[in-house]
Amino acid sequence: MEKGSFKNMKKQNQKNILTLIKNEDGISRAQIAEKLDVSRATVTNIVRELVKLDLVEESKMGKSRGGRRPMLLKLNPEGAYVIGIEWGIEAVKAVLINIEAEIIAEDQILPPKYTLEEYKKQTFSLIKKYQKKFQHNSKIIGIGLGIHGLVDPEAGRSIFTPHFEWGEVDIKSILAKKYDYPIFIDNDVRMMAAGEIWQGRDDFIFINTGSGIGAALVFKGELYYGNNYAAGEFGHMKLTDKGPVCHCGKSGCLEALSSKESIISRYQKLKELSKKVNFNTVMQNYQREESEALLVVNDALKYFGRAISDLVNILNPEAVIIGGLFAEYKDLLIEPLYHIVAEESLNQAVKDLKITTAHYQNFAGAAGAAEKVLNNFFELNI
């Protein structure tokens, strides 16, 4: 693909044709012309361009409809690639996916310092690593980046990162100065939800768990942002007046009651431990039914489940999808969480509700960020 060719694909017919080829298991030029109500000559010319760009290839012969058997078209999985990155609270994660959303490479780096400069450094290193996989950088058609905290996706600006205290940062400009690719910036949890949209989900709440707790709301296959891009700050739902102080400065937030650090901190106090333990130790003791671990984890689940039930009562989604830390322990946590939500919610609101875990598991944010680029690339508007 020639440099900048993605930016030049502005004609709606090009995107429509490319999307039809993506969605069909082999489709002929004549079928494309019928579905889009455009001339066969137009389709032939555009397909020729897409083949030249290495995005489309001929696959096999289709069934005859009275004349010669038509040649069917399909995407060329090696024709284009996307880089997806997640700036999480504890790690920088990245994936390289092909045009069919298959993960080709994945990486996770734990930064030695949680500074903007360190996150930039690790990001540039990962992008360079993926670029080296190709003879021409133009094989890469875009970069998606999901960032912890409040994000203005239109401007590509990080507004507020409560765990980092970076202030407002124009992330898109930082990347645009170095890379001539389309760049998409959004909140990390909304990027995770974008990955689930790509998997065909329409109405759901995505909740990421770990050091922070955040949510993304999806209605009819579209992300809901709110008036000031603050929709989904689920971790700062106030559940009690006497709870511990949260990173946001308020007390009694869900994040201060059910996050990774809050569970570990309370466990250490109950056990009177001087040395810090890790979350896996708490969960191992929970599985052994140690009294302190049972008390701490079950209390965190209780608050978490009650908060989810409020969202379920208000929004009545088809599914609640859990990502991050709790998803890593799904065999221990998801079933009791479902029972709490079912008990606390209205019967009609929880009827047929599914609580499940993220499709891409640990790389949900990075893969979703890459698929946000693909969602724009395959834009059907007939």
Do 334 and 323 contact (CB within 8 A), yes or no? no
pLDDT recorded at residue 380: 45
Instruction: Quickly name the fold that domain 79-195+362-377 has.
Output: Nucleotidyltransferase; domain 5 (3.30.420)
Q: How many residues does the chain have?
A: 382
pLDDT recorded at residue 135: 81
Residues 236, 190: Cα–Cα separation, whole Å: 16
Which amino acid is located at 174 in the chain?
I
Provide the percentage of residues in the chain whose pLDDT is more than 70.
Answer: 94
Residue-wise pLDDT for 34-78, tens only, equals 998 888 998 999 999 999 888 999 887 656 665 677 789 999 999
Q: Is the pLDDT of residue 370 over 50?
A: yes
Residue-wise pLDDT for 283-294, tens only, equals 999 999 999 999
pLDDT recorded at residue 243: 79
pTM: 0.87
Do 129 and 107 contact (CB within 8 A), yes or no? yes
Helix (H/G/I), strand (E/B), else coil: 304 = helix
Do 94 and 114 contact (CB within 8 A), yes or no? no
Residue-wise pLDDT for 195-244, tens only, equals 999 888 999 999 999 988 999 999 999 999 999 888 988 988 888 888 78
**Average pLDDT of the residues in 86-90:** 91
Beta bridge partners of 93: 86, 108
How confident is the prediction for the chain on average, in pLDDT? 90
Which amino acid is located at 22 in the chain?
K
Residues 369, 148: Cα–Cα separation, whole Å: 13
CATH class as words, domain 200-359:
alpha beta
Q: Is the pLDDT of residue 83 over 80?
A: yes
Beta bridge partners of 82: 97
**Average pLDDT of the residues in 104-110:** 96
Question: Scanning the structure block, which residue is given the tokens 């959303």?
Answer: 101
Instruction: Return the CATH number of 4-73, one of 1.10.3720.10, 1.10.10.60, 3.50.30.60, 1.10.10.10.
Output: 1.10.10.10
Q: Phi/psi at 84 (nearest 5 deg)?
A: -120, 135
Provide the percentage of residues in the chain whose pLDDT is more than 90.
Answer: 69
Helix (H/G/I), strand (E/B), else coil: 155 = coil
Boundaries of every domain in the chain: 4-73, 79-195+362-377, 200-359
Domains 79-195+362-377 and 200-359 agree in fold: yes
Residue-wise pLDDT for 312-327, tens only, equals 999 999 999 999 999 9
pLDDT recorded at residue 379: 66
pLDDT recorded at residue 133: 92
| Terminal-to-terminal C-alpha distance of the chain | 26
pLDDT recorded at residue 61: 67
pLDDT recorded at residue 232: 87
Residue-wise pLDDT for 236-256, tens only, equals 888 888 878 887 778 889 999
Do 17 and 23 contact (CB within 8 A), yes or no? no
Q: Inter-axis angle of helices 330-344 and 291-315, to 10 degrees?
A: 50
pLDDT recorded at residue 5: 47
pLDDT recorded at residue 13: 79
